[in-house]
């Protein structure tokens, strides 16, 4: 056996609650050589996470490995006993989960969890493990590498958690690391540091990797080979260069084509009597104790003003933790502002959602960043989506059911998904259900907080198309929060750059090549390119990096 990993004809079935079997992986085969990094790309819901997990001999609840072989360093993971598998997990094969936030135990410190692998497998004394962890933190450009380990997960931002879980995987010196969308929560500037760290660690240790991602540019930087999945089957395999430059399979071509989103056409009625839909003036909000002047101790949003015009979109970009989500919550009234005014559709809005009228609530919908927690785990998808239909529009049962089908179609989800619980969906599927629910309300303004972060390029561009279409038909407006600059460029009429709670600049998409504020410059120069050599050849202005890089 020459390869580190040899998967042959892998089949994984899920059992629905009626006992019906659904094949989610239909005979996948793939090889990974020692020290090689293989990227799994493909449609959201195609089984990337499932295949990745199966390499550890694990299938999620409700799923079962029903056929095939998974040989990792010569042992068939599917056939081993649970004990033997446990021995390999963490030491031979390590996993970086897709949703890092949920994968940390909320009641113990980050450091404890990072070094737990060394405790379980008695790899090294805890002191030594801690030192090693700090080295990894530093390599992954985490702020305060010495002190961050003592914090609890909730005291660390989403992007930081993602890097911490990478450290957790790397500490056991595994032969194979499985990264499941490890940079989705990172802004592009941080992403660069992290990718560099991954590359150097893996190269230094000769570690092989499986890199699951929807982001082709990122994949281009890190992977040696690419496996394209769709519907639980491998579509195409090839070296990174080959796939990127000369893809054979039509689906792969589709993916690649979708990577370059059509830039936004100038609005047809752009100048025709624009009307303000939303205006916020000098809004300040934050967390922690309220000070004497009525403002909170920690200000996550600091005197931000913005305007959204009817039928137009505003993009909000900025570093992870700069206050984007907080701003969204403030506008939606979930986190009432401490100061400032919000005017919506000509009327002054109450700061707290509780005090707004039902129509006001309906007309402004917010799509939460974390789809995992925004969907009630106890309810099937159809109930989740049809509630706004019943609540706002008083549709009867049949009409609701019909509308649910339409909405599922719109967000490119199969209709059969309607009966599932959120736990039976993939990351990107959850995200789309979350979005479909907002659409169901038929609002005037939708605040989208990272609604495409877990979507593959094809589906993401389909969703973007959907947004545009709806906008054309219904005159909707969006506030679009994203770390993905190309998506923002594609849809937004205006882009607001935030840094540390403040608005530093507002530009139009056609000017992204020439931002004026230095932070914006750094940001835009960090957007990865589809060119595999981009990362290695990247030179950034060291002054900018030291000023706006991670503190």
Eight-state DSSP code of residue 266 = P
From the list ligand ATP, Ni ion, Mg ion, none, which binds 204 (C-beta under 5 to 8 Å, kind-based)? none
Edge-to-edge strand order for the sheet containing 21-32?
A: 21-32, 5-15, 63-72, 75-76
How many angstroms separate the Cα of 294 from the Cα of each of 282, 286, 298, 308, 415? 14, 11, 12, 27, 49
Beta strand 364-367 with 445-449 is: parallel
Q: Please tell me whether residue 471 binds Mg ion under the rule CB under 5 A.
A: no
Q: Please tell me whether residue 325 binds Mg ion under the rule CB under 5 A.
A: yes
Q: Please tell me whether residue 105 binds other proteins under the rule CB under 8 A.
A: yes
From the list other proteins, Ni ion, ligand ATP, none, which binds 515 (C-beta under 5 to 8 Å, kind-based)? none
Q: Counting beta carbons within 10 angstroms of the beta carbon of residue 456, is it exposed (0 to 12), middle (13 to 18) or buried (19 or more)?
A: buried
Give Cα 209 to chain centroid, integer Å: 20
Q: How far is the CB of 325 from Mg ion (least distance, A)?
A: 3
Give Rg (Cα) of the chain: 23
Q: Which is nearer to Ni ion, 137 or 259 (CB)?
A: 259
Enter the tokens of residue 528.
């990865």
Q: How far is the CB of 82 from other proteins (least distance, A)?
A: 7
Q: Please tell me whether residue 20 binds other proteins under the rule CB under 8 A.
A: yes
How many CB atoms neighbour CB 454 within 10 A?
22
From the list ligand ATP, Ni ion, Mg ion, none, which binds 320 (C-beta under 5 to 8 Å, kind-based)? ligand ATP
Q: Which is nearer to Mg ion, 51 or 535 (CB)?
A: 51
Q: Please tell me whether residue 106 binds other proteins under the rule CB under 8 A.
A: yes
Q: Please tell me whether residue 103 binds Mg ion under the rule CB under 5 A.
A: no
State the residues that interact with ligand ATP by CB under 6 A: 14, 16, 22, 24, 44-50, 60, 62-63, 98, 157-159, 185, 287, 298, 300, 320-326, 369, 424-429, 454
Edge-to-edge strand order for the sheet containing 233-239?
A: 93-96, 176-180, 208-212, 37-42, 225-230, 233-239
Q: Which is nearer to other proteins, 344 or 368 (CB)?
A: 368
Q: How far is the CB of 169 from other proteins (least distance, A)?
A: 9
Beta strand 339-344 with 313-318 is: unpaired
Q: How far is the CB of 273 from other proteins (least distance, A)?
A: 31
Q: How far is the CB of 335 from ligand ATP (least distance, A)?
A: 9
Q: How far is the CB of 375 from ligand ATP (least distance, A)?
A: 13
**Which of 152-160, 273-281, 481-489, 508-516 is the region at the interface with other proteins (rule: CB under 8 A)?**
152-160
Block residue for tokens 């709670």? 501
Q: How far is the CB of 289 from ligand ATP (least distance, A)?
A: 11
Cα angle 12, 13, 16 (rounded to 5 degrees) comes to 155
Q: Which is nearer to ligand ATP, 157 or 248 (CB)?
A: 157
Q: Which is nearer to ligand ATP, 231 or 518 (CB)?
A: 231
Q: What is the largest CA-CA distance in the chain?
A: 71
**Whats the size of the chain, residue-wise?**
551
Enter the tokens of residue 283.
């809004």
For other proteins, what does the binding mask look like between residues 53 and 72, x meaning CB under 8 A? x--x-x-xx-----------
Q: Please tell me whether residue 419 binds other proteins under the rule CB under 8 A.
A: yes
Q: Which residues pair with 227 in a beta bridge?
A: 40, 237
Measured distance CA(332)–CA(329) in Å, rounded: 5
Give Cα 10 to chain centroid, integer Å: 27
Concatenated DSSP letters for 351-389? Answer: SSGGGS-HHHHHHEEEE-S-HHHHS-TTS-HHHHHHHHH
Q: Please tell me whether residue 99 binds other proteins under the rule CB under 8 A.
A: yes
Q: How far is the CB of 49 from ligand ATP (least distance, A)?
A: 3
Give the one residue of 427, 443, 501, 509 binding Mg ion; rule: CB under 5 A: 427
From the list other proteins, Ni ion, Mg ion, none, which binds 227 (C-beta under 5 to 8 Å, kind-based)? none
Measured distance CA(524)–CA(515) in Å, rounded: 8
Q: Are 176 and 55 spatial neighbours (Cβ–Cβ below 8 Å)?
A: yes
* Strands of 130-217, DSSP E: 176-180, 208-212
Q: How far is the CB of 433 from other proteins (least distance, A)?
A: 11
Q: Please tell me whether residue 391 binds other proteins under the rule CB under 8 A.
A: yes
Closest of 345, 259, 340, 228 to residue 295, by C-alpha: 340
Q: Which is nearer to other proteins, 358 or 546 (CB)?
A: 358
Q: How far is the CB of 221 from Ni ion (least distance, A)?
A: 14
Give Cα 496 to chain centroid, integer Å: 20
Closest of 176, 174, 213 to residue 194, by C-alpha: 213
Closest of 228, 223, 226, 179 to residue 46, by C-alpha: 228
Q: How far is the CB of 357 from ligand ATP (least distance, A)?
A: 26
State the residues that interact with Ni ion by CB under 5 A: 215, 453, 484
Give the one residue of 13, 41, 89, 222 binding other proteins; rule: CB under 8 A: 89
Contact residues for Mg ion, defined by CB under 5 A: 49, 98, 325, 369, 426-427
Contact residues for other proteins, defined by CB under 8 A: 16-20, 53, 56, 58, 60-61, 82, 85-91, 94-95, 97, 99, 102-108, 116-117, 120-121, 152, 154-155, 168, 332-334, 353-354, 356, 358, 361-362, 366, 368, 370, 373-380, 387-388, 391-392, 416, 419-421, 437, 441
């Amino acid at each position: 056996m020459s390869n580190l990993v040899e998967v042959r004809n892998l089949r994984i079935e899920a059992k629905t609650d009626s006992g019906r079997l659904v094949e989610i992986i239909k005979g996948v085969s793939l090889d990974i050589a020692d020290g090689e990094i293989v990227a799994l790309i493909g449609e959201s819901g195609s089984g990337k996470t499932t295949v990745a997990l199966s390499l550890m001999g694990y299938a999620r609840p409700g799923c079962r490995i029903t056929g095939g072989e998974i040989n990792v360093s010569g042992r068939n993971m599917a056939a081993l006993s649970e004990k033997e598998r446990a021995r390999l997990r963490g030491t031979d094969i390590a996993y970086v989960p897709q949703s890092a936030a949920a994968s940390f135990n909320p009641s113990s410190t980050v450091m404890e969890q990072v070094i737990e692998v060394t405790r379980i497998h008695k790899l090294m004394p805890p002191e030594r493990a801690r030192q090693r962890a700090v080295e990894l933190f530093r390599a992954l450009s985490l702020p305060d590498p010495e002190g961050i380990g003592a914090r609890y997960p909730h005291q660390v931002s989403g992007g930081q958690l993602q890097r911490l879980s990478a450290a957790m995987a790397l500490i056991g010196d595994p032969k194979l690391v499985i990264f499941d969308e490890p940079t989705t929560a990172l802004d592009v500037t941080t992403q660069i540091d992290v990718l560099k760290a991954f590359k150097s660690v893996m190269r230094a240790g000769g570690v092989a990797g499986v890199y699951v991602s929807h982001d082709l540019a990122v994949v281009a930087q890190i992977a040696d080979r690419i496996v394209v999945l769709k519907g639980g089957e491998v579509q195409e395999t090839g070296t990174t260069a080959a796939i990127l430059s000369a893809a054979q399979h039509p689906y792969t071509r589709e993916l690649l084509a979708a990577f370059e989103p059509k830039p936004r056409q100038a609005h047809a009625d752009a100048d025709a009597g624009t009307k303000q839909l939303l205006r916020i003036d000098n809004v300040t909000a934050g967390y922690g104790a309220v000070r004497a002047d009525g403002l909170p101790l920690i200000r996550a949003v600091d005197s931000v003003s913005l305007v959204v015009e009817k039928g137009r979109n505003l993009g909000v970009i900025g570093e992870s933790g700069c206050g984007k989500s907080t701003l969204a919550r403030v506008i939606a009234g979930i986190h009432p502002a401490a100061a400032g005014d919000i005017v919506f559709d000509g009327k002054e809005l109450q700061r707290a959602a509780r005090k707004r009228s039902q129509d006001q609530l309906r007309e402004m919908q917010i799509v939460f960043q974390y789809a995992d927690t925004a969907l009630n785990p106890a309810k099937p998808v159809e109930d989740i989506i049809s509630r706004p239909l019943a609540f706002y529009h008083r549709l009867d049962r049949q009409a609701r059911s019909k509308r649910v089908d339409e909405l599922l179609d719109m967000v490119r989800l199969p209709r059969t998904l309607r009966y599932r619980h959120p736990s039976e969906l993939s990351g990107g599927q959850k995200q789309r259900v979350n979005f479909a629910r907002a659409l169901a309300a038929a609002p005037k303004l939708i605040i989208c907080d990272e609604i495409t972060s877990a979507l593959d390029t094809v589906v993401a561009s389909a969703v973007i198309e959907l947004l545009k279409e709806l906008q054309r038909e219904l005159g909707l407006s969006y506030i679009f929060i994203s770390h993905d600059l190309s998506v923002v460029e594609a849809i937004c009429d205006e882009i607001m750059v935030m840094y540390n709670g403040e608005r530093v600049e507002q530009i139009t998409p056609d000017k992204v090549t020439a931002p004026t504020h230095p932070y914006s410059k750094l940001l835009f120069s960090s957007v990865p390119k589809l060119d595999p050599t981009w990362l290695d050849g990247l030179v950034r202005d060291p002054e900018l990096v030291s000023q706006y890089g991670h503190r």
